[in-house]
Each structure stands twice: as structure tokens, then as C-alpha cells.
Chains A and B, each alone.
Chain A
Amino acid sequence: MTVWTFIQRAEVEHDVDALPIQLHQLGTMTIAEIERMRVGQYPLGDLFRVSSRTTAGDVDRIVMEGDFKRFHHIAAGHRQGEFIVEGSVGNMLGGPAGNCQMGMQGGRVDVRGDAGNNAGHRMRRGILVVGGNVGRLVASHMIAGTLVVGGTVGEKAAYAMRRGTLIVSTSLDLKSPRFSPPNQTFTPFWAVFCKSVLPHLVAGSAAAELVRQLESGYVETRRGDRAVGGQGEIVRPLAAKDRFPGPEELATLHA
């Protein structure tokens, strides 16, 4: 399969709509055609040094290296393959492309820095990982899929979430009753998830550590957004000391 690498040449002075960078369209284009592509007011070649190489992997991949805080709509409408960003991104990460009502629809997006507002807006399928912090309205109007946030989460998370999963490292301060109170539960699913996802994450990163904690299957979940009849879930892994029964009591039960 093919890996395209986009290395940022210089920081931009204006906000840039990165919507035209679509992994599924790169396969039919030459490097010269990619560099001629317009991204906002710039030819893509002015912003990035682009290269490609063939690998033995089973999916196509795009790797963006740089600081993309002013680049919005990165991985919008992403469908398949891997979209990796070595840096931070702007708003609407993995959101809808153009006038489509669905955001990211498959594959994997891995941002190893921070993300702006509305990350995972209307996300429909796939796995979106943000290793750092996210802004306001993460997972808003989420339809399905899984969104992992290794860092902090801004306000109004999971607003109007219908289904899907938002995985966070700390309990969210959701002031309104849009979500159910936290429930402790166990499910072996998270071990399956961890086994599949963890090898793709940067070892030792906050996101990798969060996913690794899911492996036990003991989690705190909140279901919602009830304001829209949603069945989405906000999941936080539970440390052994926070579980019921705790490790000591469990040992007694198994004795």
C-alpha cells in the first residue's frame, strides 16, 4: 500500500480549510497533481513537501508533520485507511466534508497533538484518537464510531450525541442531566478493542496509556445525550482501586 507524507514547509498566517486533503483521492493522483491541488488560497505544494512510498502494510496512510492549529476540517469525511497527524490540528477534525451530514465514516485518524473545537462532529464510523487536549463540543452530534481523547476535554462534550463512544481519562463535569449518572460496569469488549488499537498508538503516549487501561474491561459509563434520545456513551477506564468490588474484596470472593 502507499504512504503519503506531507511535511509542512512553513506556518501559515491565515486559517486554512484542509478539506481537499482526502486520503481516498490521493491514489489516483501523481505527486505533481497533489502539489497543484488548491488548499484554501494556497497550492498544496506551497504548504507541504509531499512524498510517497510503497509499503507492505494493508491500508493506505497519510502522515502530516507540522503544526496545523490553523488547519480546519482535517480528515473530514475520512473513509478508510490511516490519517496520522504528527502535531496539533484546528477545528472540525474528522467532521463532515462539504454539505455531507456525516463526519468521518471509517478508517483511523490519529492526532498526536491537540485538536480544536468540534472534533468528531457527526462522526459516523471508525476510530479517532487525539493524544492531547480537545476544545469545545468534542463528539457533538456523534452518530457512531469511537473517539479517544488522551488529554483534557473542553466544555459541552458529546453535545447531542446519538450513538458512538467517547473515551476520556477523567470524569467529565457535565452539569446538565443530558447524560446518565456514572455507572460502573464490566465488559470484555474493551480487551478486544485494546488488542486491536493499542499496537497502532505511540507507546507511552497519553492515548496509548488510556487505551491500555481499558484492557481490564472495568469502566465507568454515562449514556446519552438524553436531550436527543441518544444512546451514546462516555467511557472512562476504572483503576483497580476505584472498582467495586475492589481488588482485596475480589480476592476474598475468589478464595
Chain B
Amino acid sequence: MHINGIPIEATFAEAFDMKATRLVITADDIGWARDAAAAMTGFGTSVIACGLEIDVERELQPSETPDGRPGIAILAFAMSGTELEKQIPRRAGQCVLTCPTTALYAGLDGDKRVLPKRIALGKSLRYFGDGHQISKVVAGKRYWRIPVMDGEFVCEHDVGRIEGIGGGNFLLLGRSTAAVAKACRAAVDAMKSLAGIITPFPGGATRSGSKVGSKYKSMFASTNEAFAPCLAHHPSSLLAVGEHSVLEVVIDGVDFAAVSEAMKVGIEAACHCSHPSELMRVTAGNYGGKLGRHHFHLAEVLA
């Protein structure tokens, strides 16, 4: 299979079950909302060491937010519900509560009957009010109003969590880092308009694609030497002659369809902005199908 003359390898991306949630940050202007979101999603690239994978899903118009102000939707993914329940209140407290004019709301519809597994938001943060906080229930949702120095920090009581998918991916292999970076930017830019997915690595891509395990006992992930150009001579290398740089776009999504659509949009954008002499191949990362139950075959995704 080829797109714009660029070969698409007959392989699949292997992804995993994760626990996911969505949050909505609003503020008086989009600038403050972006600042809070940037802090909240900082150091949230990989569950390997960050605890969760978290990023901005999209910016919201005032008509789309609970309080009619500009907002930002954030998606967060973790390997366990317990980790999500630990990370989200911690980040909300340090990154959103602290940011001027912001408010924090659940981004997933559904009360306890629909989404019985809940992650605390105001349920934890209310104690900052030191007894002066006010609880209000509106349309079955509980909100906390916590006095702060610019007025009140408004925060929904909790948010549900859902089953998500983490680790959807594709690899762009090219003649130079500049060529691959250009394709990578195009892919990530195209995916930004999609709902239900995030690309949590810096700029949406990682250069340090990893394999499971290491020669060092303390490491449970290490460099994927099969795609490291400086190890092209290594017997396990999967690089062809002329492939001097590789970047991996990693996608987390709320369901299979969202990840699949994002891979399609991203790969097509990367290929259509590149020449076959620059972007030489597109492939995907997997572990032989033994670790993750979600397999995104490139031929099916791009069909």
C-alpha cells in the first residue's frame, strides 16, 4: 500500500486498555485557560514515569462550556483507576486552583448511575476553603465554590472515568530529521481538530520510542534499537538503506474508532505533505500482539 508514493508497511500498532477521563477548564479569557491547561498537562507524556498521559484535547467556545466562558478540554489516561484518582486531584489543586479566574468541570456526561467510577475534583479541593466553601447542587451536579483571592474557584464535585485506549501509534521514517519532523508536524496538526484523542508527547511525537524490558533489571522500558539509525548495523535493526531518522506519533483515545480515525488522518497528512524521497516509509510499533489487545492494522485503518 502507498499514499502519495510513500510505502505503508503491512503491520499494526498495538495499543492497551487504559482508564480515561475528560476535564474542562474555563477562565475569563482563553489565555488563563491555556495557562492552567499547560500546567495541568505538564510532565504528562508517558505512564512510564509520569503517572498518566494527559494533554489538551481541544479548545472550547464559550457556548460549549458550563459557565459560558472560553475553555479547554483535557483528556487524561492512566494504567489504573487508582493512579488516575491520585493524579487528577493533585494536578487540579496545584495547576487549576492556583491559576487566576479559572473554574474546573467534569468533561464526561453521566452521574454515578452511568459512570459509577468517580475521580474526586472539588470533593478533595473543597478543603482548601477551610470551612468557608459553599456546596451547591444544580441539575443533579454538585459544585464547590471555594473562596480565593480573585473571587471564587468553582469546581465540580467529581468526574466519571471511562475505559480508554493508550498507545495507538505510527512511525515516520525518512531521509533526514528535518524531513520526518515536517511530516510529523503535518500529522499532528491535522489530528488537532479531532475529538476524543490526544498526542501526549512534546509536539505530539517522540524520538525515544521504546521497547519493553532492558538489560538493566531496574528498567522496564528501554530504547527501541531496531529504529535507531546509529545502530543500523545491529542485527535487530529494521531500518532500510537511506532511512536516517524516525519519529513516533503516539495517540491515546477514548475508544477504538477515535484512535483509528486519528491514525488515518495523521498518516495521510504526513504522506501528502512529503515526497517519497524525504518520507520513505510509514510503519507502526507493536510487540507481536502479545501485550495489548487493540491492534490497529495500517491497511484497515487507511482503507
Task: State the A residues within 8 Å of B (CB).
Answer: 125-127, 144, 146, 163, 165, 185-189, 191-193, 195-197, 215, 217, 231, 233
Contact = CB atoms under 8 A, between A and B. Distances in A.
Q: Chain B binding site: helix, strand, loop or mixed by DSSP?
A: strand
A215 B134 contact: no
Given A197-B138, A215-B68, 4 more contacts: A188-B67, A189-B143, A195-B66, A195-B67
B103 A163 contact: no
Contacts of A126: 137
B131 interface: yes
B154 A231 contact: no
A193 B26 contact: no
A196 B132 CA distance: 24
A165 B67 CA distance: 19
B49 interface: no
B145 A189 contact: yes
23 contacts: A126-B137, A127-B138, A163-B134, A165-B136, A187-B145, A187-B152, A187-B154, A188-B26, A188-B67, A188-B68, A188-B69, A188-B154, A191-B66, A191-B67, A191-B69, A192-B154, A193-B136, A193-B138, A196-B138, A196-B139, A215-B68, A217-B67, A231-B132
- A-B interface, 6 closest residue pairs, ranked by CB to CB distance from nearest: A187-B152, A188-B67, A191-B67, A196-B139, A186-B151, A189-B154
Contact of A125 (B131, B137, B139): B137
Interface of B: 26, 66-69, 103, 131-132, 134-139, 143, 145, 150-152, 154
Contacts of A197: 138
Nearest to A231: B132
A188 B131 CA distance: 20
Given A191-B67, A195-B68, A196-B139, A185 B131 contact: no
B138 A185 contact: no
B131 to A, nearest CB: 7
A163 B131 CA distance: 11
Contacts of A125: 137
A191 B152 contact: no
A185 B68 contact: no
Contacts of A165: 134, 136
Contact of A192 (B66, B132, B135): B66
A189 B131 contact: no
Contacts of A185: 151-152
A197 to B, nearest CB: 7
Contacts of A195: 66-68
B137 A189 contact: no
A233 B132 CA distance: 11
A127 B138 CA distance: 8
Contacts of B145: 187, 189
Nearest to B137: A125
A91 to B, nearest CB: 26
Contacts of A188: 26, 67-69, 103, 152, 154
